[in-house]
Amino acid sequence: MITFTKKKLLAIAAAAFMLSGCSSNEEASNQATADQTQETVRIGYPNILSVAPAIIAEKQKLMEEQGIKAEFYQFANGPDLNKALSSGKLDIAYTGIPVVVNWASKGADISVIAKVGDGEFGLIAKEDSSITQPSDLESKKIGFLGRGTGSDILLRGFLLPEAQLDETSVSLVEMKMPNMESAITKGTIDAALLGEPFVTFAELRGLKVVRKIPDPAVVVVAHNEFVKEHGDAVEKFMQGHQASIDYINEKPTEAAVVLAEAFKVPEIEADGKTWTPAEVMEQALAKQKYEAGFSDDDFSFYQQLADANYQLKLIDKPFEIKSVFNLKWMK
């Protein structure tokens, strides 16, 4: 029978403690090494629901699950975002096709590597407004994000020409999208072109949607130098991008909670019902469709957007949309 003296027991305990400490230190060291070897990817996106996969990836740390360290930056509009991407301050961006065309036509070294989804913008006005169709916009003040943005292309390139109007027929007022609804309510402007979730906010609070139009085709764009030198990180990003899309499509209720917090969605009372922030966001999400792959119809619409850029003299010559795509990462 083996017996242990008190001194031996203390010695064994001390040895076990030292081994445990070594193990903990080794695990911490391994974790620190892993953190150091993770590539950092700088990702930018504008403040609209069309880029929900970027927001979900950020809040749920889905990029980190793929083995990359993601730094996310939010921008007020597409042109500012693409300026940061083109200058090398970002590696990857979620943005609309019109802005991609503008920058690529000027020589920006960027490529579209994935789709984000499809949604819609809405032309919003007061419920009692005389504006019931785009042709009623003549001589009216219209809020938009600014020249060269996706909303600019939709407004000056599609809605106004459809009504046989142009920018000389209306007064365009540049402002941030979150401020447009209150500007309409106060009478500062007569109408505005909004994206989600701001269209849903406005509808629930009693404004009317005069016309819906497809959103300006949000895609994922990467700086070509980053793609060339960090292919493994791009591959992991694409896995995270798909994981985020899957999260939204498979868990819309959970996604709505995350996004409601990100957009600081208020509780809204309408038609005798109180809508929680998550319920409001779930309504907005239902109007969106998220997917990473492209269809022939997508390319047809993207070319129309590129042609509108040229017709509005935002670019100097016609632009072939497929020239800015790198589909290597689509499987």
Is there a single domain that holds both residue 91 and residue 141? no
Contact predicate 142/171, CB 8 Å:
yes
Residue with tokens 């003040």: 141
Averaged pLDDT, 17-34: 46
Query: pLDDT tens for residues 247-292?
Result: 999 999 999 999 999 999 999 998 788 999 999 999 999 999 999 9
- Residue 133 resides in a domain: yes
Model confidence, pTM: 0.83
Given a cut of 70, is residue 23 above it in pLDDT? no
How many domains are there within the chain? 2
Sequence-ordered list of residues with C-beta below 8 angstroms from that of 233, at least 6 positions apart, any chain? 39, 41, 68, 91, 226
Could you tell me the pLDDT band of residue 216, with boundaries at 50, 70 and 90? Answer: confident
CA angle 202, 208, 212 (to 5 degrees): 90
Residues 226 and 105 both lie in one domain: yes
Q: Which of 48, 55, 45 is nearest to 94 (CA)?
A: 45
pLDDT in tens, 148-182: 888 999 999 999 999 999 999 999 999 999 999 99
Give pLDDT tens digits for 239-249. Answer: 999 999 999 99
Do 64 and 84 share a domain, yes or no? yes
Residues 159 and 188 in one domain: yes
- For 105, other C-beta atoms within 10 Å of its C-beta total 19
Task: Check whether the bond before 252 is cis (ω within 30° of 0).
Answer: no
Say if CB 213 and CB 150 are below 8 A apart. Answer: no
Give me the domain span that covers residue 210: 120-214
Q: Which of 20-29, 201-210, 322-331 shows the lowest per-residue confidence on average (mean pLDDT)?
A: 20-29
Q: Is residue 207 part of a domain?
A: yes
For residues 242 and 208, membership in a common domain is answered with no
pLDDT at 331 (0 to 100): 63
Residue 55 shares a structural domain with residue 103: yes
Contact yes or no for 329/238 (Cβ under 8 A) = yes
Other Cβ atoms within 10 Å of 322 Cβ, number: 11
Q: Which residue has the tokens 């989600």?
A: 196
Instruction: Tell me which of 179, 214, 249 is where a domain ends.
Output: 214
Q: What is the CATH number of the domain that holds 83?
A: 3.40.190.10
Q: Are residues 95 and 226 in the same domain?
A: yes
pLDDT above 70: percentage of residues in the chain: 89
Tokens of 216: 């300006």
Distances (CA, A) of 298 to 18, 139, 293, 294, 311: 62, 34, 10, 6, 20
Residue 47 has pLDDT above 60, yes or no: yes
Judge whether 275 lies within some domain. no
Same domain for 125 and 235? no
Indicate whether 170 belongs to any domain: yes
- In degrees and rounded to multiples of 5, residue 186 shows phi and psi of -80, -10
* pLDDT (tens digit per residue) in 100-133: 999 999 999 999 999 999 999 999 999 999 999 9
Q: pLDDT at residue 32 above 70?
A: no
The C-alpha atoms of residue 2 and residue 208 are separated, in whole angstroms, by 87
- Has residue 19 been placed in a domain? no
3-class SS of residue 212:
strand
The more confidently predicted of residues 102 and 6 is: 102
Q: Assess whether 238 and 145 both reside in one domain.
A: no
69 shares a domain with 81: yes
Same domain for 51 and 136, yes or no, is: no
DSSP 11: H
Q: Is residue 8 part of a domain?
A: no
The answer as to whether 152 is a domain residue is yes
Q: Answer whether residue 11 is part of any domain.
A: no
* 240 shares its domain with 316: yes
Q: What residue spans of the chain are helical by DSSP H?
A: 6-37, 52-59, 62-65, 78-86, 97-105, 150-154, 160-162, 180-186, 198-204, 224-229, 231-250, 252-262, 277-285, 296-311
- Give the pLDDT confidence score for residue 6 in this predicted structure: 46
Among 214, 230, 245, the domain boundary falls at 214
